[in-house]
A and B are shown apart, each in its own frame.
Chain A
């Protein structure tokens, strides 16, 4: 975080080991620069991602959560990402009703060959989060009452 008063978002990314993690590796190999705000948590497959992890990330002070995996049809485990996609579709309906800021949760498919896409996505969501500001609403929820 910089010393000036500019807000530096905290971004947590849950990524799948075979596609997006390797895509991020490729971004590294190609020395593609992006903001430092993201922290990647490696999982075997997006199928492993339970929505509770997203809620927990917000509880821990994340301002934005990214979930990323293999393109449909390319899952290393054949269908883990399809199950994840289905869960996400249902989860969004619930979050919407609760008024949780949908602009702070991003889902992407980034393959192992898409280092540039990884760079682009991280850069864009960091920028977007800067505009949105810190996730005050959820911080308020988490304050001990």
Chain B
């Protein structure tokens, strides 16, 4: 055995290096075996390197070889060398020393077998030999650990190093090696590894995310939990900014950023809550805290942070906050004012809306002595509201009060407030919860309705006629006031035993008329004909009076008589014709509208004559549009118009039909609707016909939807971030999606068509994986088994990335594979992550102690195994000994929390389930802050628990905040549930999100029952209302408009009650709707009252409209504000037709309607009535719609309010044309009689005159005869003749006296003269003569000079003159056919007034003679009239004469002196 000295020398260095390495390793005592080994190896390599470098110097130190050999021989290690073939040539010590075995047994003699072959542990031998041979072959250094037999028993660990030595050519010529006992190192290393592993486990298993940050804030370490949670190793988040960007929720990023920066700047521990992204992309809430670790100099060397998952808690809290917020929003958003108050009336809460609406805040209300919310109650209502509330408090019943509420700005509106008490367990009221709803509109509407009803009622009572109503079988049900007054009894009084009401009425009819009345009425009731009759009716005082009664039936749509309305006046009955036509029209319309398809009646000129509702719905036009002359061209889009004009019209004209065809129409809004239209002409005519239209939009929509769906699928396939491919069963790639194309940067067409699958693989797959992939694919294709493999695939940029490819076959019905579908998932990053994770093993203990949370661990039995430093600091009493869990808990946990905490913890220990506890724990200062402790077990591979880890954090602040929040939420919740209204909320999608408790109780439902709007509508809303409510609510959901509707909602007892539901959206800052809030108020009573009122109003309206009289209402100024249908039909225009002209409605009506001869009088009287408030009554002619003037009697009476001021005029206008004409005839007859009697009295007068004259004449005659006889007697008796002559003279004078006396007759009234203006006398005369003028069809024109002075006249005498002259003038014109005009003119001439009466008659032949007594041109005239007139005028000091005023006519003129004293 030869030893080459230089080699030994080098060994010396090498061993020294090893020794130094070992020493250093011991010194440092780094508990990591691997480090030691490395250091040792490095020392050795350094030594060898220096040895080789100083090869030339070696000879110089050969003298020290012996010494070195000794060192080698005695060092506690084996040194050896081998030749290039690996044969051991030298060993530093006798193996016996080492092993106690003979060398021969130890050392192998074979060249390539490692020298200690026989003592190496059999388990290690293979490895040792393999490594040795590998080194021999390649020339690499040899390094191997293995166990070797030791003489004192057992194997120990050794490490063998070997280095080759080479000649100048670099060939290996030998090996030098050493084998060192590393058993202790190995053991130490194992222990250290164990410790490290345990810490790693601790850190990784502690139920918290733990991380370290550099002093600059960059992450340097994440524990396993953190890594698993985030899915990212710390290396991927190299900087703090990256952390913030990648794993912190964007919303929290700024807060986290700022908080961390501040912490870093100040060095203060910091903590905050934020969301952290989980590997699957979701975020969870964490409570993160960080504290710095400082070195001896106080500089920060590291930041340690812990993140505790508080997501559930946050969610709970969030849910709680949301709930609180929701409730708050709900309370603020429900369209009602909400408040609560204490039983003493002190307000305790008002909602935002209350404040917004009234301008009063809770503070205001409290400031005003807390006297409830009375300061917003309208002052007049306060006492009542107060009383109502006090009453409610006393009785404990529901408080319900309507009052006016003062609003911001000083206005007030009607409000309904309701409140219900909340009681404690003992039944005492502790709080009132109330809601105030604005019912102003409703109140006002109701008020106006009530007013209207009252007006109508008054109208019916005030119309100057008797009005009554009968049931269809003739039972009277209504008498108006006048009727009651007339009859002296009410309808109710007609209920008499043993007879029907009708019979009771007939009792009041005159016995002579009763039978006819009964028959006529029964006939009408049976036949439905109008009832018209005149009969005598007994008035209250027993007097029978003639009544002209008229009644008409009111029919429902089905033609059944529902009521009879009647009154005592006649009217025309044009109306019935009208209603018959309307009914026929309606029948046809129903016929057409009952159809589902559109039907149009058209004219070839392009107009739509009529269309049914279905068609109108289709084109969304109104019926009014059709009536206004809708044309096909309006509906037909331009591109169809030509077709329409050319083909369709031609086809129709030619064949009388149009085959069904598809086309489009414009809707009213301009959108198009596809339709199918067919048409046919009416039989027998080619101009008009009917068209049938079918809406095709549904079908078109379906087609489009299908196309879109297909496209979407294609997009989906192309867009999924997974590479998808298809392969034929033969292995031909047949499809790759866009993701894959993008990834590989190739399209399917780019594949080598010839190469097939193998070609594709060759193109894309990493060379190392190609074969495996091909094999796996081929296998799958052959067997049909699913394919799964990981392989590297080349990306478009040439980089290979790991993919996991999977494929499955699609089979046809017979089980044959028709296609393979595959997907590749890029798992490169995942693999890389895994790799990185494996490398992390450091700095854990520090971390545990540094993280700002308490960490404890227990063994499975619950025995405390370790606590973090921070725990000790916080809890303050470092336990001397490790205690059991129970012991520890009972010492530290607040007694109140202990039972729960302990039970849960023991349960957790028992079941192995992680558990969380919140409880108060006594800290070092003896206070009990709230903490949250989470415990989680660590299990070994077999699933057995090896350790429990627990982390606890201080949550005191949160718990207290939480408590406060919960309290608030509870209060609000109580408020919401106690409010006596239904409060619901909906999601923007229309799902029911919340229902308050009262709703559930009232409606008898559970909130779980309902979600969908439609479902709610179906279940809870009255079927009649449901569709409309649903439609409106869906529309509101779409448009965002507030929803306000009244409908019936089903209560739990099954009854429906009317509610008013208001729903308004709550919007976020962008205006997006985030929630809908609905409040529903029970308005059933109101609605029913309202309905009753409306019913009454309708009934009265029907009555008014049906009354056979024309009714008009006018405001206090006389302006018409309402006209009954009868009047409107009579006039032929609507009231509104009068608006917009310059005239007022009143003047418009009068000017247009009243006969020109009557209009002045009517206006004057009307003005008088309006001014004085006296009733108006006048007969005049009124123009009917057809232009005919008919006589009407108009009566108007003022309706006054309680104060007596006029609020309305009720006008009733009755057509009395027939009556007037009958009356006219009567008056003519009367006049004839009057004239006859006048003639008689004239005859008497003349007789008297004759008597007066004849008496003396007779005496004269007799005396004359006597005288004659006396003179002719023989002898003549002169004496007696003389006496008789004397008597003759005397009697003749007497006769003359008589005439004088007659003339004196007219002078008797001289004394009754008074001074007056002529105007009043003439006006009166005109009134007197008006009827006669009318009868004679003479128009009178009166003309006054203004400012005429008064004259002294005898009124009666002057009237006699005027009447005489006027009548003469009229009579003079009797023969004229037309143009009868009598003019009367008054003017002042010199000292006198001159009155001229001119006619257009034939004129006068003897202008002077006519004034002589007994001169007459008339057949029956006395010839005294003008004589008397002249004598009267002359007695007044005036003159009367006549002039012929040129053809035609005559003028009579008289004068009267102006000065009254001259008159005598």
Q: Do A and B actually bind?
A: no
Which residues of chain A have a CB within 8 Å of any CB of chain B?
Answer: none
